[in-house]
Amino acid sequence: MEMFGICRDDPSITASSRIRYDACISVTPDDYRHRLTCQIPRGIYLRAVHKGPFNQLTQSYNYLIYEWCPLYQLPIDYRTAPFEQFILSRPENVLKTTAIVIHIPLKQR
């Protein structure tokens, strides 16, 4: 089972009470008929690993979005795909030091 999240808003500019976030688990083809599902759009994604406390995840996003992507001239696609986070650590350790794979959608060149 893979756990991941889909963040639909930018926490640095959206009030915490207004942030939309989908907590998800992967399902097998046999399971998805009986569940509410969402398919992640195909495309090009920047993939980076955040290592550290969960409460510092926004800092990693901000670095990638506002410094790293502009430095390498990688245009972010804010319209067609949400940002995703795949949790690599065990669930009981998520709020402590953790490893989270960040996926940021990029525009095709």
> What would the 3-class secondary structure string for 27-48 be?
CCCCCHHHCCCCCCCCCEEEEE
Residue 1 predicted with pLDDT over 90: no
Confidence of residue 68 (pLDDT cuts 50, 70, 90): very high
- Upper half-sphere CA count for residue 77 (Cβ side, 13 Å): 17
Q: What is the DSSP string of 64-88?
A: IIIIIHHHTT--B-TTT--EEEEE-
pTM here is 0.75
Q: What type of residue sits at position 26?
A: S
The pLDDT value recorded for residue 41 is 80
What DSSP character marks residue 17? Answer: G
Domain limits, the chain? 3-106
Across 71-95, average pLDDT: 77
